[in-house]
Amino acid sequence: MCDESIKEDAKAYHGELTLTRREFGALSLGMGMTMLFPEAAKGLPVTDAEVNIKTPDGKADCYFVHPIIGAHAGVIIWPDNYGLRPAFRKLGKRLAGSGYSVLVVNPFYRHRHAPVIPASATITEETARAIFAPLAEALTLERSTTDAKAFVEFLDDQRSVDRKRKIGTTGYCIGGPFVMRTAAAIPNRVGAGASFYGGNLVTDQPDSPHLLIPRMKAQFLFAIAENDDQQDPKAKDVLKEGFSQANLPAEIEVYAGASHGWCSPDFIVYNEILAERAWNQLLLLFDSTLAG
């Protein structure tokens, strides 16, 4: 799972990782969050709400945030394997401040409401992995596809979403494959996708996300951690070839010096400089494809 890479990198750069989940997640609260996430470039005033979205399998608890005035392009954010939590609410609010109507989803809603592991919980990383492994395995291609359609329908029903504009989607770690599945499931609505240290984007299985590229109509950004590339150096080449054959623009970059998880401010491997560069690339992608 993704947190294996985070833990190994933390050991390599900072020594043996002995943080509990409570200590590990504490950076997402208080001073850690306010200092590590800069404000949105446009700084638009926003309004937010906790929402429940009906899907074929129940109701997904999500976080919806958008500018107070006007209708804007919709964006779906798929969190990493720690799910919807303060760090991703902050990320969604920052993106909304840049002029987007943003839905941050809880992909594990079938089994647990967010936060899956409260920041106040005192458990080991091994226990956390035991909790997340079955949750991640339950997110099949079919389930994530039906979820994606439900989330797009929700956005299209909101007055703050401009249906004349394409929808964007971005995902982190296990969220990377969901971005690709979303773009393939609703190609006429999804105009841009971004994956940050996405896991298992290229596999030898029949449901590998890269096999969905021919179904897409979206432009893509893939920001790859250096250690992920070292573990699977051929994946980026497969992605490049796939998007080239589909005649779809895709920026695929390995971030030298970036460790898996580097964009999440509540992870010990967070790298503010490289995270900001990745964020700026995301805004360039969305501003160029979702502006209408």
- Write down the pLDDT at residue 38: 55
- Write down the pLDDT at residue 109: 94
Residue 206 in 3-state DSSP? Answer: coil
- Write down the pLDDT at residue 130: 80
CA 204 – CA 195 distance, rounded (Å):
19
Measured CA to CA in angstroms, residue 28 lies from 35, 139, 196, 235, 238 at distances of: 10, 25, 19, 31, 35
Which candidate, 204, 201, 250, places its Cα nearest to that of 228?
Answer: 201
What the block records as the tokens of 168 is 């964007």
Q: Are 249 and 219 in contact (CB under 8 A)?
A: yes
Choose which CATH entry (1.10.260.40, 3.40.50.1820, 3.40.50.1110, 1.20.5.440) describes domain 2-289. Answer: 3.40.50.1820
Using only the alpha carbons of the chain, give its radius of gyration: 18
- Write down the pLDDT at residue 181: 97
CA 171 – CA 200 distance, rounded (Å):
13
Q: For the chain, which residues make up each domain, given as ranges?
A: 2-289
Mean pLDDT, each 10-residue run in order, the chain (292 residues): 45 34 37 44 89 96 98 97 93 97 96 79 72 81 94 98 98 96 98 97 96 98 98 98 98 98 94 98 97 69
- Write down the pLDDT at residue 99: 97
- Write down the pLDDT at residue 37: 52
- Write down the pLDDT at residue 141: 87
- Write down the pLDDT at residue 244: 98
Which candidate, 70, 82, 42, places its Cα nearest to that of 268?
Answer: 82
- Which one-letter amino acid corresponds to residue 221? L
CA 71 – CA 155 distance, rounded (Å):
11
What the block records as the tokens of 114 is 């967010």
CA 251 – CA 281 distance, rounded (Å):
9
255 - beta bridge partners? 225
Which candidate, 114, 124, 115, 99, places its Cα nearest to that of 41?
Answer: 99
What the block records as the tokens of 165 is 């504009």
